[in-house]
Amino acid sequence: MPAGGRPTVRGRRLGAALRKYREAAKLDQQHAADHIVGSKTKVSRIEAGLVSARPGDVRLMLELYGVKDRDVHARLEQLARDSSRRGWWMDYPLAAEPEYADIIALEADATCIRTWQPLFVPALLQTDGYVRTLMESGLTVHSIEAMDEMTAIRRKRRHVIEENGARFAAVIWEPALTSPMPSRTVHHEQLLHILDVAQRENVSVQVLPATEWRGAHMASHFVQFTFGPEPTPGIVAFDTTTSTVLLDDPEDMAEHTQIFEALRFAALTPDQTLAFLHRTLRDITQAEREAE
């Protein structure tokens, strides 16, 4: 069972998928319970993500529901194994906070991550210096240990696109990249890092020009996650001041996908973005020289 009886994001994803296939087969929870030799309560709790489903139970349920696709079987059975597996982030107290842990788990499982950011550099592109600058700029006073831990967490999160090969697409509003930062050195290092990562085959970075005011205000920041071979995003997430909101309704997915595609259309192309980053880096370098 998830700690404290709280559904994990992996458990919720598995439960939602099993419920979808059961309802498509026009069967009720009692049918599923009888097939796995369990109780209706157990099936209900699996579908709610409150208990971890065994891979064998998942296999039996999918067979009952008439799901023939072996890729679906493999993906959901693996999700059942992973739902009770301890993630690396649980070794970090700051990352073990439930909602933060959910985001990291989504990143770890995703085959494609798409993000729109009008104010900040996307989390998976942030350098250590940028993370520390953000923490120092907030109202909360963080200890050196907390800043060290947060930069270590962010560094490991970057492995998703740097080592695991998940596809990553980002649209960033120009002011998030060009507005002066407290440190020109941090600013320079951050843009250099984006420039380097943006040239990877699995990464697409596009800058939305500052003049595209209408586009920039279509939506606040959000991140879409796709799992498995399907191109359709399965979850969209965005932060508020005090919490993280996760949406999985198909209408929410469709709306945010439409917004993201409109932003990509209005933004500079990936090649134009590389040229933009080179120009901005030259401007920062020139400003540094003039300040000497």
The pLDDT assigned to 288 comes to 67
The pLDDT assigned to 4 comes to 41
User: Tens of pLDDT along the chain (292 residues)?
Assistant: 444 445 678 888 888 889 989 999 999 999 999 999 989 999 999 988 888 889 999 999 999 999 999 988 988 898 888 877 778 888 898 887 877 888 998 998 899 999 999 999 999 999 999 999 999 988 788 899 999 999 999 999 999 998 768 999 999 999 999 999 999 999 999 999 999 999 999 999 999 999 999 999 999 999 999 987 777 788 999 887 677 888 888 899 999 999 999 999 999 999 999 999 999 999 888 776 666 5
Q: What is the DSSP letter of 212?
A: -
Task: List the 112-117 sheet strands across, edge first.
Answer: 203-208, 167-173, 112-117, 222-226, 235-239, 244-247
Q: What is the DSSP letter of 36?
A: T
CATH code for the part of the protein at 3-83: 1.10.260.40
Strand runs labelled E in the chain: 112-117, 167-173, 203-208, 222-226, 235-239, 244-247
When computed from its CA atoms, the radius of gyration of the chain, rounded to whole angstroms, is 21
pTM value is 0.84
Q: Say which CATH topology domain 88-291 has.
A: Endonuclease; Chain A (3.30.870)
CATH 1.10.260.40 segments of the chain:
3-83
| Phi-psi group of 165: left, alpha or beta (phi > 0 → left; psi -120 to 50 → alpha; rest → beta) | left
Burial category of 245 from C-beta neighbours within 10 Å (exposed 0-12, middle 13-18, buried 19 and up): exposed
Nearest to 76 by CA among 39, 37, 35, 47: 47
Distant-in-sequence, close-in-space partners of 281: CB < 8 Å, separation ≥ 6:
188, 191, 192, 195
CATH 3.30.870 segments of the chain:
88-291
